[in-house]
């Protein structure tokens, strides 16, 4: 029979859990670029946009809850270019409530009118203050989305200062995130760095003809890495988060005269891993809610579940907290002196987590080739090739060799001896 003291302790634990669920999360960026939620590293997976509020997935589950299986998941809410008022506010209120119930977070995008406020615009600044006050303590809030693609839009960086300063003056728990277009150079992006905490570039590499979205000479899949390196170079060592926005579907494949095209699983897998290898600490997938990209069946659900089931879900299983790779996604880049010889175009990163050494490697376009990795600890003998069972590689004297075809990814995990 439980004692009164035991019951009180149980109730106290329930109360503390309830209080924790009702309080805002504290989001920070670690020295290695990792996203920290209440001090704990996570690898965020985002969607622009997520399923409609109240909608179900084809299996009957709540759409939000279905995507929340992927770990720390967030949705970007778009203003739809409407001025802020009762209708958008009611939409965000309902979105936040359902997100909190189903374990996802929200990054509101309030529109350029409120994220590009000029100094002295007191009415707009007051309106922004009211919005930030309303949602800053909401447990479903993740990030504040700043001005969209300001460098491409020729928006002076100083025009972003009011939004950035206002958000941080009122809300110390949630960073400001800005996405740049795949345009310009790293030097062109540097002036914007003081006005965001999380920097991103959106790059949609799959189209007919190839490379419609890229402003670089590279029109192949590996342009994702080029732009990841560009925002990383702009961020420099300024303690900024780095996220990349990748493609489900986008306007360049649905406009009149264009041909609808989606990434295949190998393409999506390569682009996602290349972004991670080159520095991304979060990934966002764009276009799941674009109506022109939905099959007849998916129109009734309001979201591209067909693409999710065929391409994204198998990929995101590799990034979930239950995955053997997840500890590496949270780890800092290792200083282990690993280097590669052989063919050309191989990108890789080394991570150390728990009792394992991970090597994530992806090959750019070109010829199929063998590569030799050197610099592992001398005692390493056997490496598991994750997600390719039963493949293993054998290491000797700190070296191992493996084949890579164009746009192929291998993920190695070595247990320390």
Average pLDDT over all residues of the chain = 93
Task: Flag whether 234 is in a domain.
Answer: yes
* Structural domain total, the chain: 2
Q: Are residues 211 and 359 in the same domain?
A: no
Task: Flag whether 28 is in a domain.
Answer: yes
Q: Are residues 259 and 353 in the same domain?
A: no
Q: Are residues 356 and 257 in the same domain?
A: no
Q: Are residues 160 and 308 in the same domain?
A: yes
Q: Are residues 240 and 363 in the same domain?
A: no
Task: Flag whether 403 is in a domain.
Answer: yes
Question: Which CATH number goes with the domain that contains 393?
Answer: 2.60.220.10
Burial level of 184, CB count in 10 A (0-12/13-18/19+)? middle
Does pTM surpass 0.85?
Answer: yes
pLDDT value at residue 143: 98
Question: Which CATH number goes with the domain that contains 195?
Answer: 3.20.20.80
Within 10 A of 265 (CB to CB), how many other CB atoms are there? 13
pLDDT > 50? residue 144: yes
Domain end position, chosen among 323, 354, 377: 323
**How far is 155 from 279, CA to CA, in rounded Å?**
26
Task: Flag whether 9 is in a domain.
Answer: no
* pLDDT mean over 30-45: 96
With cut-offs at 50, 70 and 90, classify the pLDDT of residue 417.
confident
Q: Are residues 71 and 102 in the same domain?
A: yes
Task: Flag whether 280 is in a domain.
Answer: yes
pLDDT value at residue 21: 52
Q: Are residues 361 and 310 in the same domain?
A: no
Sign of the dihedral through C-alpha 129, 134, 138, 143: negative
Task: Flag whether 190 is in a domain.
Answer: yes
Range of the domain at 48: 23-323
Domain end position, chosen among 298, 323, 348: 323
Q: Are residues 228 and 295 in the same domain?
A: yes
Q: Are residues 238 and 362 in the same domain?
A: no
With cut-offs at 50, 70 and 90, classify the pLDDT of residue 81.
low
* Cross-sheet strand order for the sheet of 356-363: 346-353, 356-363, 409-415, 382-385, 392-394
Domain end position, chosen among 323, 348, 380: 323
pLDDT > 50? residue 251: yes
Q: Are residues 140 and 247 in the same domain?
A: yes
With cut-offs at 50, 70 and 90, classify the pLDDT of residue 236.
confident
Q: Are residues 319 and 356 in the same domain?
A: no
**How far is 50 from 63, CA to CA, in rounded Å?**
8
Q: Are residues 116 and 165 in the same domain?
A: yes
Task: Flag whether 328 is in a domain.
Answer: no
pLDDT value at residue 79: 82
pLDDT > 50? residue 13: no
Task: Flag whether 5 is in a domain.
Answer: no
Share of the chain above pLDDT 90, in %: 91
Residue with the bigger pLDDT between 83 and 106: it is 106
With cut-offs at 50, 70 and 90, classify the pLDDT of residue 103.
very high
**How far is 215 from 223, CA to CA, in rounded Å?**
10
């Amino acid at each position: 029979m439980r004692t009164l003291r035991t019951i009180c302790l149980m109730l106290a634990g329930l109360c503390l859990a309830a209080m924790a669920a009702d309080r805002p999360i504290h989001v920070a960026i670690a020295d290695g670029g990792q996203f920290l939620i209440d001090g704990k590293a996570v690898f965020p997976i985002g969607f622009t946009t997520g399923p409609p509020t109240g909608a179900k997935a084809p299996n009957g589950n709540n759409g939000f809850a279905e995507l929340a299986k992927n770990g720390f998941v967030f949705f970007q809410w778009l203003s739809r270019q409407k001025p802020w008022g009762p209708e958008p506010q009611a939409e965000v209120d309902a979105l936040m409530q359902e997100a909190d119930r189903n374990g996802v977070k929200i990054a509101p995008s309030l529109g350029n009118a409120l994220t590009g406020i000029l100094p002295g615009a007191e009415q707009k600044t007051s309106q922004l203050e009211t919005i930030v006050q309303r949602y800053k303590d909401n447990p479903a809030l993740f990030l504040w989305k700043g001005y969209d693609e300001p460098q491409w839009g020729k928006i002076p960086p100083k025009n972003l200062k009011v939004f950035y300063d206002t958000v941080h003056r009122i809300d110390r728990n949630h960073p400001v995130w800005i996405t740049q277009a795949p345009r310009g150079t790293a030097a062109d992006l540097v002036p914007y760095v003081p006005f965001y905490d999380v920097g991103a570039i959106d790059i949609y590499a799959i189209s007919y003809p190839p490379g419609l979205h890229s402003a670089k000479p590279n029109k192949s899949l590996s342009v994702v890495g080029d732009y990841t390196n560009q925002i990383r170079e702009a961020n420099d060592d300024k303690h900024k988060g780095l996220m990349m926005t990748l493609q489900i579907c986008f306007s360049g494949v649905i406009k009149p005269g264009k041909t609808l095209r989606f990434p295949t699983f190998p393409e999506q897998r390569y682009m996602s891993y290349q972004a991670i290898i080159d520095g991304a600490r979060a990934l966002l997938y764009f276009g799941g809610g674009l109506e022109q990209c939905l099959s007849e069946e998916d129109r009734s659900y309001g979201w591209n579940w067909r693409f999710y089931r065929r391409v994204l879900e198998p990929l995101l299983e590799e990034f979930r907290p239950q995955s053997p790779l997840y500890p590496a996604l949270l780890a800092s880049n290792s200083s282990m002196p690993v280097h590669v010889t052989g063919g050309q175009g191989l990108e890789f990163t080394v991570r150390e987590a728990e009792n394992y050494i991970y090597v994530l490697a992806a090959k750019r376009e070109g010829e199929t080739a063998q590569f030799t990795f050197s610099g592992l600890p001398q005692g390493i003998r056997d490496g598991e090739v994750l997600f390719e069972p039963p493949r293993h590689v054998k290491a000797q004297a700190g070296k191992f060799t493996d084949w890579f075809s164009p746009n192929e990814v291998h993920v190695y995990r070595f247990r320390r001896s």
